[in-house]
Structure 1
Amino acid sequence: MRVVIATRIFGPEVSAASGILRTWAEEFRDRGFEVAVLTARPPRGAVIDDPPGIDIRRAPVKRDRQQYVRGYVSYMSFDIPLAFRLLFSRRADLYIVEPPPTTVAVVRVIAWLRRTPYVVRAADYWSEAAELVTSNRFVLGTLRRIEAWGLQGAKRLFAAHDPLIARFRELGITTPAVPIGFGADTAHFRYSGQEPADPPLFIYAGTHSEWHGAGIFVDAMRAVVNRHARARLEYYGNGEDRDDMQARAAELGIADSVAFHPPIPPAELATILARATCSVASLAPVAANEYALATKVYSSLAAGCPVVFTGVGPTIEFLDHATYPAGVAVTYEPSAVAEAMIAAMDAPLAPPDRAELARWSSERFSLAAIATQVVDESLAIIRA
């Protein structure tokens, strides 16, 4: 049997989706499938380290100045060639597609033409997130219709969690959905007894764009630095808010305490997290994020690093009800965030506790377990 994964983002590009889809591809391969990945050429300087036994085909794509495939001009530069790549490739038994909605819509058209079922990794509801970058009713209405149409045609939605599925049902999207949750790539994110960082170190790992609201940690750092002058906040990733955050750090007089780095490979990031005082994560308090989950939390915990989260969404409930002290969720205010960061700095998690945190997290939130569930569900669709 042959599976084709259509995604604008895949390794070596650093993102949650890259790690998730690579794990899925490897599980399909290990279960005897022929696997092809149709994706985009990676950013400049990326070192390709493809998993063996998987046919990964990359095509040029338009990237923004942060080297990210973001915005609908970039999306279409991937989607239009994708239609022809799918149409003229060998027949598949199943397509797996990663949003944006335009990519899902393209796959629905080709899937109909080639009589091939498709499934969607539905981690978010994109149409509501788009309200953060445009208020144009025509654009938003068109996007909602495209997204609903693409999701409605799928044989299965592999959704992040039950609240997102409930939102889809409210919108009339009746496609069968499975809440698969999120997890960490425990092959890379783990704790190996690293010594705690000195001075205190806070890590934000991932995209920092409008709907993340990650600039709040820069504001909070002023109070943190007042408590410990050598404390540092480091961002790893990219995003449209970076210039504003750098300017804000300079305005607050803490530019030397806040550093911005490009994305780095998971294994390298895991080593940094394993030493950090804690990681920080955020989702801006807007309606689009009520169903979103900060996936970076799982990678941090698997590396033995507790989390300070601020914003909205299911991450709050996850941290509040974790059976092991994984971190805290606080209101989206600089003073509350600073207080939580200072508390983590004043009482850092000891190495034995970090090892236990990593063990607890890895046993419960592994991408490998999720991949097994995805392949089982996919087999049922193919054999139906």
Structure 2
Amino acid sequence: MRVVIVSRIYRPEPAAASLFLGCVADALREQGVEVEVLTAKPLPGQGDGSRGERIRTFPVMRDRSGYVRGYVQYMSFDVPLLFRLLFARRPAVVFVEPPPTTGAVVRLVCAIRRIPYVYDAADIWADAAAYMQTSPLVVRVLRRVERFALRGARALVTISQGVADRVRSLGVRTPTTVSGFGADTLIFRYVEAPTEPVFLYAGTYTELHGASILISAFARFSETHAGYRLRFIGNGTGQDEMRHQARILGVELSVDFVSPIPAAELQPEFARAVASLSTQFPEPGYRYAFTSKIYSSLAVGCPVIFAGPGPTGSFIDQAAEQIEVGCAVDYEIEAIADAMRKAADHPLPAERRRALAEWTAEHHSMSSVAAQVAGVIADTARESGRDQRR
């Protein structure tokens, strides 16, 4: 059996989607499946992310931070993809990662070549665009393109029941598997390290995440706890405004903005941090989103402070009944600052951090999630083969 994975980002590029897709490729190869990945050419110096799969890259446009984000950047990947996939050696099935424009290209090519595809519906992009006050016309077009991509798939996989329910509400009846999400525990695992006075936010921060509230909360926290740092590692669309906010609040010398780094370098950052931070802006129409970045922190043994609504907070509350994972609080400055104070005054000792990492590896390893997704992909290929024989 041969599977093609299509995604604008793939390992070694540091992103949750890259790690997830790489783990899916590993799980498929463990089943004896031949895997080929069609992706973007990584940035210089990032190296090769292959663990045995064939990775075929193509140059793309990137934004100022080096990320493939924005409609022009997406099209620089999607247009060549049309021809790359059209003339690629025929696979049994294609597994495609958003954006929806990529999904639409895959649907067109797969329809021509009579190849089934599985779509990773990790999010609803049109909802995100609507919240970010994108032009109503653009949102309507994106909604149609996204439905087109979702409806053409033989199967969908998603990380949360909230997204699955939202897919159904959009009139999409494609069979959907809720796989959950997890951490790549080959990379993110416990290592003993001295805790430093740092609160860490690792990952993308956009208007949807609402991470700017962390600067206000940190300024409030710093009134009673001097000497701590707030560190952002990743891509952010509002970084200039956040830097200005830090200056206004007088904490600019204690707030770091670091470009994305490889997962192997991010792991020790979690190991040393007092706690990691994660946020979800309380937008009523977008409360089904799950903040998957928390798994990497937990897998290293670093507790999480999450602020916002939705399933992430519910997960943390439920997990806290079994193990010390951190806490979920309201999306309010004082609530976050108070959680920081408690984390600083009562840091998780080494033995409990180790226990947290072991619990996460047992219950929320990305390898188990990837194996489930690989099963959906393989089942889709087998069902398609039986249909063709009929």
Whether TM-score is above 0.5 comes out as: yes
Query: In 2, Cα distance between the equivalents of 1:336 and 1:13?
Result: 34
Number of aligned residue pairs: 381
Does the Cα contact within 8 Å between 1:125 and 1:288 map onto a contact in 2?
Answer: no
Matched to 1:138, the amino acid is L
| Structure 1 residue 259 corresponds to structure 2 residue 292 | no
Equivalence for 2:7: 7
1:56-95 to 2 correspondences below 5 Å: 56-95=55-94
Query: In 2, Cα distance between the equivalents of 1:223 and 1:239?
Result: 23
Query: In 2, Cα distance between the equivalents of 1:371 and 1:224?
Result: 39
Does the Cα contact within 8 Å between 2:276 and 2:304 map onto a contact in 1?
Answer: yes
Matched-pair identity in %: 47
Equivalence for 2:212: 215
Matched to 2:2, the amino acid is R
Equivalence for 1:284: 281
1:206-355 to 2 correspondences below 5 Å: 206-322=203-319, 323-355=322-354
* Pairwise CA distance, 1:23: 0.5
Query: In 1, Cα distance between the equivalents of 2:38 and 2:265?
Result: 26
SS of residue paired to 1:39: strand
Query: In 2, Cα distance between the equivalents of 1:40 and 1:68?
Result: 11
SS of residue paired to 1:227: coil
* Pairwise CA distance, 1:51: 2.2
Equivalence for 1:142: 141
SS of residue paired to 1:111: helix
Kindly provide the CA deviation profile for residues 281-331 of structure 1, in whole angstroms up to 9, marking residues without a partner as x. 011111453111111110000000000011222101001111212111111
Query: In 1, Cα distance between the equivalents of 2:45 and 2:243?
Result: 25
Query: In 1, Cα distance between the equivalents of 2:378 and 2:96?
Result: 16
Provide the alpha-carbon RMSD of the alignment. Answer: 1.1
Query: In 2, Cα distance between the equivalents of 1:181 and 1:65?
Result: 32
Does the Cα contact within 8 Å between 2:162 and 2:289 map onto a contact in 1?
Answer: no
| Structure 1 residue 111 corresponds to structure 2 residue 110 | yes
* Pairwise CA distance, 1:32: 1.2
SS of residue paired to 2:118: strand
Matched to 1:53, the amino acid is G
Query: In 1, Cα distance between the equivalents of 2:281 and 2:68?
Result: 21
Query: In 2, Cα distance between the equivalents of 1:350 and 1:52?
Result: 35
* Pairwise CA distance, 1:161: 1.4
Equivalence for 1:152: 151
Query: In 2, Cα distance between the equivalents of 1:279 and 1:377?
Result: 33
Distance change in 2, residues 1:235/1:136 (3 Å) = same
Kindly provide the CA deviation profile for residues 58-98 of structure 1, in whole angstroms up to 9, marking residues without a partner as x. 11111111111111111111111101000011111010000
Equivalence for 2:386: none
* Pairwise CA distance, 1:129: 0.1
Does the Cα contact within 8 Å between 2:36 and 2:55 map onto a contact in 1?
Answer: yes
Matched to 2:260, the amino acid is P
Matched to 1:373, the amino acid is Q
Matched to 1:180, the amino acid is S
Does the Cα contact within 8 Å between 1:13 and 1:46 map onto a contact in 2?
Answer: no
Distance change in 2, residues 1:55/1:216 (3 Å) = same
Does the Cα contact within 8 Å between 2:2 and 2:35 map onto a contact in 1?
Answer: yes
Matched to 1:235, the amino acid is F
TM-score (normalizing by structure 1): 0.97
Does the Cα contact within 8 Å between 1:2 and 1:33 map onto a contact in 2?
Answer: yes
Query: In 2, Cα distance between the equivalents of 1:125 and 1:146?
Result: 11
Kindly provide the CA deviation profile for residues 334-355 of structure 1, in whole angstroms up to 9, marking residues without a partner as x. 1111111111111100110000
